[in-house]
Structure 1
């Protein structure tokens, strides 16, 4: 099946792109680069709730997800932060994401939730760290365990 062959690599590419974009949001808000916080050209005020803390989550979790290190935990935290952003910041303005400006928060939320559920894919630091403990096939799935050795019947 085609998915089995390319699924792990495709998931890795998806994870890398989503993590990179999230990291850019954190950098923009925290340090004022790439147009700054909400396009103002400025950084969020140090320790200001919720902007600076959201930027910290975006920066750290985005980098972890992008590299595939502690992927499931980082993706779950990132997903939750985007759910918070949607329901606290965007949803009170209007119910529909197209009218409340929350499309990006919703997309990030569900993208990170997907990564948290499916895992990091084939190309990830998590896979390298677990590789010595268990063998993997080329698609990234654990290889079947070898059959236990049996004692042969002794003939005298």
Structure 2
């Protein structure tokens, strides 16, 4: 079974990319359409200009970046845009909860951060729009053959 998975490495990496992108996209939707959105994550009820700007960045990064990851378009850039969001989630938002808390937010955010680093490193995979568009064009035969 392990040899079979090893032979399907591209499929596994693409499945991971699609799953990660879809999850981030839906997380962006949840941030936009829940009543408190990002304020609930940050633990503050005081709306401010900085919080509004941060929530726009986070929601946009998750929505657009997640969609791009899911289809494999500008994959490394889409993952790179997510890194500050997840880095902030790990270090600023969930760090005080510590490991093995009841909601496991630190562990999950750290996992997503790690997976995004893998996507940044290894790219989009064989079954992505990036791979489809970077394939060399079919050579055109010179001269006419009648």
Q: Which interval holds the TM-score relative to the shorter structure?
A: 0.7 to 0.9
Runs of at least 5 residues in structure 2 that lack an aligned partner in the other structure: 41-46, 139-146
1:10 aligns with 2:22: no
Aligned residues: 125
Q: Deviation at 1:3?
A: 5.3
- Secondary structure of the structure 2 residue equivalent to 1:102: helix
- Deviation at 1:66? 0.7
Q: TM-score, normalised by structure 1?
A: 0.68
Residues 68 and 125 in structure 1, CA contact (< 8 A), matched pair in contact too? yes
- Name the residue aligned to 2:37: 37
State the Cα deviation string for residues 97-130 of structure 1 (Å, max 9, x = none): 3237322211111111111111111110000110
Larger Rg over CA atoms: 1
Shift of 1:14: 0.8
8 Å CA contact retained: 1:20, 1:62: yes
Q: TM-score, normalised on structure 2?
A: 0.72
Cα distance change on mapping 1:10 and 1:101 into 2, 3 Å: closer
Residue in structure 2 matched with residue 81 of structure 1 by the alignment: 85
> Does the Cα contact within 8 Å between 1:79 and 1:110 map onto a contact in 2?
no
Between 1:53-62 and 1:14-23, the stretch displaced more is: 53-62
What is the CA RMSD across the aligned residues, in angstroms? 2.7
Partner of 1:90: 94
Distance 2:88 2:8 in 1: 33
Query: Which of 1 and 2 has higher RCO (CA within 8 Å, sep 6+)?
Result: 2
Note the alpha carbon deviations across 1:18-45, whole angstroms, 9 max, x for none. 110110000111233xx8737x8xxxx8
